[in-house]
C-alpha cells in the first residue's frame, strides 16, 4: 500500500497578476524526511512554502495534509494542522521592538498556557542550543545577520513543531555556521522527529542531509527524488543548474566538490597505465555522536579540521579528496600501492593527533568544560582500486577495512 504523503500538492496553480508563479504543481512531502527545494530565483520556492503554512491560497488545485484537503478541514482540524507547522522566514521576520528573549518566548506566551517559569526555561534552553544565551537581552538590530537567523531558528523550534519550513536558513552565514545550521536541522529532526522542508543551495551539505530533492523549474516541478537520482538526471538544463550549484570546492573543508572529484577520478583512470598502483582511503568521524555530546559547532569544527588536514597532507603527495557524505571523506592516492597508502595514512594520523589535538581539546573544553572531556575517534579504511571500480564501490570496499587511526582521548566522558 502506498504511504500517504504528509503534505501533497495536487495541480496547485498560483498567479500574481499576469505572472504564473506555480503552474499545476504536483508534489509529495513525506513524514520524517528532509525535503529540499531548489531552483533559480523567482521560480516560486518561497511561494510554495507560504502555501503550506497558509499565508497564500492556491488559485487552482488542492493542498492535502495527511490525505485531507486543507480547505475542507474543520476549524479544530485546521488549528491542529497549523499548530504542527513552524516557518523560518527568509528575512527572519523578527519582531524588532522585542528582545531576542521576547521574540523566542512570544509563541509560547501567546499560544500556550505554560507558566512564566516554564516558558523561561524552554526559551533559555533553546537559546543555549543556538549559542545565543549572551544575546538574550539584545534587540534584533543589535545582532549580526547570522545571529538574527539563529534567533529566527530558535523561535521556529521553540514550540517543538512537527513540520518545520525553512526558507533559506543558511543565507548570509559563514561556512561553519551554514554547516552548523544544517547539522542542527538533522540533529533536531532526529531528536524531535519533525519533517523538514527547506529551501537551500548549500551544496553538498544540503544534499547530504536531504532525503528528497524537489527542483522547481519555471513554476513547475522539474524533478523530485533522491540526490542520486538528481545527479543521474538526463534533463540537460536542470542537470547543468545542479552542477553549477555544486561548484569546484567544498566551502567548509576546502576539499574538492563531489562533481570535481568525479571529473578528476575519471580523467585519472583514463590516463593511468593499467599496471599502475591505485589506492583509496575513507576517513570518517561519527558526527552525530559528536553533535549529541558537544553541540553543532564542535561537530562542524571537528569535520572542518579533518577536511583541512586531509587536504594539507595528501594534496602535496598528489592525492585528491572529497566528502561523500556529511562525515566521510574519500581520498584517492594515484601511483600508490595499498601498503604505501597505509604508511601515508599512519603518518597522517600521527600528524593529526599531534597538531589537531590542541584545537579539538579546546572545542571539547569549551563545550563540556575543563576537567571533563569526550573521546573522539577518527577512523580510516584503505583499499586498492580496481580498474573498473565506481566511486561508490571504492567507498564500500574501504569501509569494510575501517579502523581507528587517531583518538582524542580523556579519562572520563563519552565517546564518538
Partner 1 sequence: MTEPGSLQRSNNLSLIFPAIGRWTMLLIGNLGAVAIFFSLSLVHIFRRKQLSEIVKQVFFIGARSSLIVMLVGLFTGMVLGLQLFYTLIRFGSVGALGSAVSLSLIRELGPVLTAIMITARAGSAMAAEIGILRISEQIDALYSMRIDPVRYLISPRIAASIISFPLLTSFFDLVGIVGGYLTGVFLMGANAGSYFYRVQSALTMVDVRGGFIKSLVFAVIVSCICCYQGYFCHMRTDGYGAKAVGLATIAAVVLSCVLILIADYVVTSFLM
Binding site for partner 1 (CB under 8 A): 50, 53-55, 79, 82-83, 85-87, 89, 91, 93-96, 106-107, 109-111, 155, 159
Chain centre distance of CA 298:
15
The residue among 149 and 324 lying less far from partner 1, judged by its C-beta, is 149
H/E run at residue 25: strand 19-29
Complex with partner 1: residue 82 or 342, whichever CB lies closer: 82
Q: Would you say 165 or 406 has its CB closer to partner 1?
A: 165
Determine the Cα–Cα distance for residues 216 and 238; give it in Å rounded to an integer: 9
CB 322 within 8 A of CB 329: yes
Asked if residue 118 lies in contact with residue 156, where contact means CB atoms within 8 angstroms, the answer is no
Q: Compute the least distance from the CB of residue 93 to partner 1, in Å.
A: 4
Give the whole-angstrom CA distance, residue 121 versus residue 253: 36
85 versus 306: smaller Cβ distance to partner 1: 85
End-to-end CA distance of the chain: 39
Measured CA to CA, the distance from residue 115 to residue 195 in angstroms comes to 28
Q: How far is the CB of 28 from partner 1 (least distance, A)?
A: 22
C-alpha cell, 154: 530558535
- State in angstroms the smallest separation of the CB of 69 from partner 1: 20
CB of 92 to partner 1, least distance (A): 8
Instruction: State which residue, 155 or 324, has the beta carbon closest to partner 1.
Output: 155
Give whichever of 82 and 262 is closer to partner 1, judged by the CB atom: 82
> What are the CA-CA distances from residue 147 to residues 174, 181, 367 (Å)?
11, 11, 19
In whole angstroms, the minimum distance from the beta carbon of 229 to partner 1 comes to: 31
Q: Which is nearer to partner 1, 97 or 144 (CB)?
A: 97
Lateral strand order in the sheet of 34-38? 85-88, 163-167, 195-199, 34-38, 212-217, 220-225
Residue number with CB closer to partner 1 (17 or 236): 17
User: What is the smallest separation between the CB atom of 107 and partner 1, expressed in angstroms?
Assistant: 4
CB of 276 to partner 1, least distance (A): 58
Tell me how far apart the alpha carbons of residues 29 and 37 are, in angstroms, rounded to a whole number: 11
CA distance 366 to 221: 45
CB of 111 to partner 1, least distance (A): 5
Preceding amide of 184 cis, omega within 30: no
Q: Are strands 85-88 and 163-167 parallel, antiparallel or unpaired?
A: parallel
Least separation in angstroms between residue 114's CB and partner 1 is: 12
Check the CA dihedral 402-407-412-416 and report its sign.
negative
Beta pairing partners, 278: 334
State which residue, 55 or 404, has the beta carbon closest to partner 1: 55
Report yes or no: 219 and 23 within 8 Å, Cβ to Cβ.
yes
Amino acid at each position: 500500500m502506498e504511504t500517504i504523503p504528509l503534505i501533497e500538492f495536487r495541480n496547485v496553480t498560483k498567479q500574481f497578476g499576469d505572472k504564473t508563479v506555480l503552474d499545476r504543481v504536483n508534489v509529495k512531502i513525506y513524514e520524517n524526511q528532509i525535503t529540499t527545494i531548489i531552483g533559480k530565483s523567482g521560480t516560486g520556492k518561497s511561494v510554495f512554502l507560504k502555501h503550506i503554512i497558509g499565508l497564500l491560497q492556491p488559485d487552482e488545485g488542492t493542498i492535502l495534509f495527511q490525505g485531507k484537503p486543507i480547505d475542507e478541514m474543520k476549524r479544530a482540524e485546521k488549528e491542529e494542522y497549523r499548530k504542527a507547522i513552524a516557518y523560518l522566514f527568509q528575512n527572519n521576520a523578527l519582531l524588532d521592538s522585542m528582545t531576542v528573549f521576547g521574540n523566542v518566548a512570544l509563541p509560547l506566551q501567546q499560544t500556550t498556557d505554560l507558566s512564566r517559569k516554564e516558558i523561561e526555561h524552554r526559551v533559555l534552553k533553546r537559546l543555549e542550543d543556538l549559542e545565543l544565551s549572551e544575546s538574550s537581552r539584545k534587540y534584533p538590530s543589535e545582532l549580526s545577520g547570522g545571529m538574527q537567523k539563529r534567533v529566527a531558528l530558535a523561535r521556529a523550534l521553540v514550540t517543538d513543531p512537527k513540520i518545520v519550513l525553512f526558507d533559506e536558513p543558511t543565507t548570509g552565514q559563514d561556512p561553519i555556521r551554514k554547516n552548523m545550521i544544517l547539522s542542527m536541522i538533522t540533529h533536531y529532526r532526529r531528536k524531535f522527529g519533525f519533517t523538514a522542508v527547506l529551501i537551500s543551495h548549500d551544496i553538498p551539505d544540503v544534499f547530504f542531509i536531504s532525503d528528497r530533492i524537489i527542483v522547481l523549474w519555471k513554476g513547475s516541478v522539474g524533478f523530485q527524488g533522491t540526490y542520486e537520482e538528481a545527479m543521474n538526471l538526463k534533463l540537460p538544463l536542470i542537470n547543468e543548474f545542479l552542477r553549477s550549484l555544486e561548484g569546484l570546492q567544498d566551502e567548509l573543508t576546502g576539499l574538492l566538490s563531489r562533481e570535481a572529484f568525479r571529473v578528476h577520478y575519471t580523467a585519472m583512470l583514463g590516463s593511468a597505465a593499467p599496471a599502475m598502483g591505485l589506492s583509496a582511503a575513507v576517513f570518517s568521524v561519527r558526527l552525530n555522536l559528536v553533535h549529541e555530546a558537544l553541540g553543532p559547532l564542535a561537530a562542524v569544527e571537528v569535520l572542518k579540521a579533518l577536511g583541512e588536514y586531509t587536504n594539507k597532507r595528501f594534496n602535496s603527495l598528489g592525492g585528491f579528496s572529497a566528502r561523500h557524505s556529511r562525515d566521510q571523506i574519500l581520498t584517492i592516492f594515484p601511483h600508490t600501492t595499498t601498503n604505501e597508502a597505509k604508511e601515508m595514512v599512519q603518518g597522517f594520523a600521527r600528524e593529526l593527533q599531534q597538531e589537531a589535538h590542541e584545537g579539538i581539546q579546546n572545542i571539547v573544553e569549551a563545550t563540556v568544560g575543563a576537567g571533563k572531556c569526550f573521546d573522539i575517534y577518527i577512523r580510516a579504511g584503505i583499499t586498492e582500486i580496481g580498474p573498473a571500480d565506481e566511486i561508490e564501490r571504492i567507498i564500500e570496499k574501504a569501509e569494510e577495512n575501517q579502523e581507528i587511526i587517531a583518538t582524542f582521548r580523556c579519562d572520563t566522558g563519552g565517546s564518538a
